[in-house]
Structure 1
Amino acid sequence: MSTIFAPITGRGGAVTVLRLSGPATLDITAKLTGGLPPPRRASLRPLTHAGRHLDEALIVTFPAPYSFTGEDVAEFSLHGGRAVLAAVSEALATLGVRPAEPGEFSRRAHQHGKMDLLEAEAMADLIAAETEAQRAMALEGATSLHTACASWRERLRQIMAQQEALIDFPDEDLPPEVEAALLSGIAALRDEMRAALAAAPAAERLREGLEFVILGAPNAGKSTLLNALAGEDIAIVSDIPGTTRDAVGVRIDLGGVPVHITDTAGLRNTVDVIEAEGVKRARARAAKADFLLLVAAPGEDFPEAPSGIQSLQIHTKSDLGLTGGFSVSAKTGHGMAMLREKLAAAAQELTDTKGAAALARPRQIACVRDTEAALDAALQLDDPELRGEELRTAAQALARLVGIIGVEEILDAVFSGFCIGK
């Protein structure tokens, strides 16, 4: 296996940390530093190559297997200038070390048993987290899923042992309650997985972010409302009806949940071809939204929400004297704090997994769905051998969730989303 390197810190800081991993790591570190530093102790050493003084760096080595990747690892804390990083990278390349591919450090950690696929995906989600709720899900959600998966695997192992007993001792007059307990255990495990699958859309929404759409007639105050929620001028505001022709949006944090709020064209019948297309797109976005802000100016009716999508009716321009219902004024700020609270509550409700294991990725959902389907199929069978085969199918699908067997074809998909330094 080749030795790889990559910076594991962002650009522009005072310090850049460069990580090496692979069989030649310690030898190359010794060549650059004039002698191998003690393991797991930070040592200030000059970096030199081909007679050139490259930098003064803090060096830490982690001999295998006690490292992030399970291989020999070294980390160089360099001065943060681009020229320093370029010079050290060039020296490493000359010595036969190649730049790491995205996720390659974490992939090697997985291959050496340092992390399973659930832990790898949780790390990627933690790196990408924008809000507190996403951070919490990446840490706590992964732990709960890991715990649930361990429980599922152990229960399935016990079920399979009971099933093998029914297969191996068909003439031993086993009590009927043995098979009844077996079927009850299969059903309970299947139902728990169904609950996790039912909660999966909420976890996915939290990981990806929600889509809130503002819908209303022209001049209902949609663009002004968007700007007020964003805290900056995102959309053009004008007294001319039909100013907004296309969707304009901004991503904000509502109660720890990332939400993309989109302003749309005012809903009305029009002969203007461009405006008509804007209205068509507004309705299409509304049909795919997670939540709708239905706005109406004084004396106007609220637009109708597509079936099945939660919404909030908001009277705008309360500074003009409108009373009754929930009203706000983006101009004076009246009701805006309450509106934010209502939207945050809606966002949190839409991303609440209600205590079920947080299946936040399509791969995870597919593995649990396949396991649940095999368990359900096993319940429909009376023949012990056929039921046992479905249970083995369930075990294989569940094993794919953590990456124990049959995972080579999915490794690229899991790790390709990582940054280079991970």
Structure 2
Amino acid sequence: MSETIFALSTAPGLAGVAVIRVSGPEAKMVWEKMCSHQPKPRIASLIKLSDPYDQSEIDRCLGLWFPGPASFTGEDVVELHLHGGRAVVNGAIEALAKLPGFRPAEAGEFTRRAFNNDKLDLTEVEGLSDLIAAETEAQRKQAIRQMDGELSRLIEGWRERLIRILAYLEAEIDFPDEELEEGISEKVKHNIVALISDVNQHLEDGHKGERLRDGFSIAIVGPPNAGKSSLLNALARRDVAIVSDVAGTTRDIIEVHLDLSGYPVLLSDTAGLRDLELHTTDGVELEGIRRAKSHAESADLLLAVFDIKDYEDLDSSTLKLLENQDSLVLLNKCDGKILDTNSLPVLKSQMEILQISAKTGYGIDELLSLLNQTVIDNMGNIGSSSGITRQRHRSALQDTSNALSRASLIDLPELCAEDLRLATRHLGRITGKVDVEDLLDVIFRDFCIGK
């Protein structure tokens, strides 16, 4: 029998209300030992909460009773909605620890019990985690869809199709003397190819689900003293980075989270780039430049910032980063005089060039508008359907596709069936459900073996 666990479910610290959750076979003991009465199931009731030994009053609070299995964890669950003072919360926690068989919950243990008791599958657990961590509207919507089982239904639909395909193939292998449907082999191949197409369509999504979870990455790059840190502060609308006329002030990556059009954006200020052997022997600055280049290479968009006075002699180290990445060129420290940027042959013709002043704010609104549109263009179609949100999902689906592809090329039924079984297990890894009994059920239902 599992132990009864308890924990504070709301954030620690001073608050109007704090919620303590209890789950396990002895949860009912809270009402018997610590409360004035037991509430009716799923109806909030005002109770007096007391110490189980000396009956000293801890708080007058709301109590909720969720008898298992109709609860979040599938076990008996108690919720205590207390006044949120530290002394009240600590008193309740200490009192619960005195009850026999009770112990503090480990991180994620309530959700783990929900999974073990088939209240949530793995993708729904991950959706719940993403919902708690969501910072933007788009992240919230994606998390709710996954928590509601949208991805689970997609995976389970594929798995059911695969089980049916495998059932036909197994029937052909194990019961060759039965009067089975003609052309089963051709039908199996056709269905495998159709399933491969559906799986690959989701694999070829540009990693948009993962990008929505982690944020659209924008790196600010450029030579020293071009105004990169000032631009970061201007876009963040607060002083995040130290601004100085001294070259090499920014040594490490400085990151700011932004919300653009409801989508998460990770904006990074990097160390100034320059020809190292000519300008510096400072080991710290060299490491900063190395990190800047590495970070820029993995960004979704580069903001290349240059001092407008040096626009005819743009830094070669920065320009190398722009050759194979989506980039926006910003000519900073503009005094309002518009320059002809068509005379910059070193830049790719398709690059967008804006003249701004991070110090005065000139051109910043236009830049924000352009960044909003760029983020929408890259992420705006995320959220209308279920998608892959983690590398774990992608790896399992890639393994599924590989197994199906092998099966589609094999004529020997026994070997084809083995790859189909592997594909089934790979899909089952995504939701945490791998059940061979489903296969047996389909065989006996569809083919009436032994008639």
> TM-score, normalized by length of structure 2?
0.83
Match of 2:194 among 175, 188, 200: 188
Three-state SS of the structure 1 residue aligned to 2:190 is: helix
Aligned to 2:125: 120
Q: Which amino acid aligns with 2:118?
A: G
Q: Which amino acid aligns with 1:272?
A: T
Per the TM alignment, residue 246 of structure 1 is displaced from its structure 2 partner at its CA by: 3.4
Q: Which amino acid aligns with 1:94?
A: K
Aligned to 1:420: none
Aligned to 2:294: 284
Distance 1:352 1:159 in 2: 36
The alignment status of 1:28 with 2:36, answered yes or no, reads no
Aligned to 1:18: 20
Q: CA offsets per residue over residues 240-267 of structure 1, 9 Å max, x none? A: 4444343333222223232222222322
Aligned to 2:158: 152
Distance 2:300 2:119 in 1: 38
Q: Which amino acid aligns with 1:68?
A: F
Aligned to 2:387: 358
Distance 2:45 2:150 in 1: 39
CA distance 1:121–1:214, change in 2 (3 Å):
same
Per the TM alignment, residue 351 of structure 1 is displaced from its structure 2 partner at its CA by: 4.0
Q: CA offsets per residue over residues 21-55 of structure 1, 9 Å max, x none? A: 11111123222114322222211111122231111
Q: CA offsets per residue over residues 279-327 of structure 1, 9 Å max, x none? A: 3332222222222111222242363225542211222233341334422
Aligned to 1:347: 375
CA distance 1:332–1:47, change in 2 (3 Å):
same
Distance 1:399 1:226 in 2: 44
Q: Which amino acid aligns with 1:98?
A: R
Match of 1:272 among 280, 289, 303: 280
Three-state SS of the structure 1 residue aligned to 2:151 is: helix
Whether the 8 Å contact between 1:287 and 1:306 is mirrored in structure 2 is no
Match of 1:336 among 361, 364, 373: 364
Distance 2:150 2:47 in 1: 43
Per the TM alignment, residue 176 of structure 1 is displaced from its structure 2 partner at its CA by: 7.2
Larger relative CO (CA 8 A, sep 6+): 1 or 2?
Answer: 1
CA distance 1:39–1:186, change in 2 (3 Å):
same
Match of 1:385 among 414, 419, 426: 414
Aligned to 1:38: 40
Distance 1:244 1:124 in 2: 34
Question: Greater shift after overlay, 134-143 or 351-360?
Answer: 351-360
Distance 1:290 1:162 in 2: 46
Aligned to 1:72: 76
Distance 1:38 1:252 in 2: 45
Whether the 8 Å contact between 1:211 and 1:291 is mirrored in structure 2 is yes
Q: Which amino acid aligns with 1:279?
A: I
Distance 1:345 1:176 in 2: 55
Report how many residues are paired.
406
Aligned to 1:319: 335
Aligned to 1:417: none
The alignment status of 1:198 with 2:204, answered yes or no, reads yes
Question: Greater shift after overlay, 126-135 or 277-286?
Answer: 277-286
Match of 2:243 among 231, 237, 240: 237
Q: Which amino acid aligns with 2:98?
A: T
Q: Which amino acid aligns with 1:19?
A: R
Whether the 8 Å contact between 1:110 and 1:116 is mirrored in structure 2 is yes
The alignment status of 1:56 with 2:60, answered yes or no, reads yes
Q: Which amino acid aligns with 2:363?
A: G
Question: Greater shift after overlay, 139-148 or 382-391?
Answer: 139-148
Q: How does 1:207-286 map to 2 (within 5 A)?
A: 207-269=213-275, 270-274=278-282, 275-286=285-296
Aligned to 1:4: 5
Whether the 8 Å contact between 2:336 and 2:362 is mirrored in structure 1 is no
Whether the 8 Å contact between 1:109 and 1:115 is mirrored in structure 2 is yes
Whether the 8 Å contact between 1:200 and 1:359 is mirrored in structure 2 is no
Distance 1:152 1:62 in 2: 35
Distance 2:36 2:255 in 1: 56
Question: Greater shift after overlay, 278-287 or 8-17?
Answer: 278-287
Whether the 8 Å contact between 2:124 and 2:146 is mirrored in structure 1 is no
Distance 1:316 1:337 in 2: 14
Per the TM alignment, residue 358 of structure 1 is displaced from its structure 2 partner at its CA by: 1.7
CA distance 1:70–1:378, change in 2 (3 Å):
same
Whether the 8 Å contact between 1:200 and 1:353 is mirrored in structure 2 is no
Per the TM alignment, residue 276 of structure 1 is displaced from its structure 2 partner at its CA by: 3.9
Three-state SS of the structure 2 residue aligned to 1:329 is: coil
Q: Which amino acid aligns with 2:64?
A: V
Question: Greater shift after overlay, 295-304 or 14-23?
Answer: 295-304
Question: Greater shift after overlay, 205-214 or 273-282?
Answer: 273-282
Three-state SS of the structure 1 residue aligned to 2:124 is: helix
Match of 2:434 among 376, 399, 405: 405
Q: Which runs of 5+ in 1 are unaligned?
A: 407-422
Question: Greater shift after overlay, 190-199 or 245-254?
Answer: 245-254
Q: Which amino acid aligns with 1:127?
A: I
The sequence identity of aligned pairs, in percent, is 43
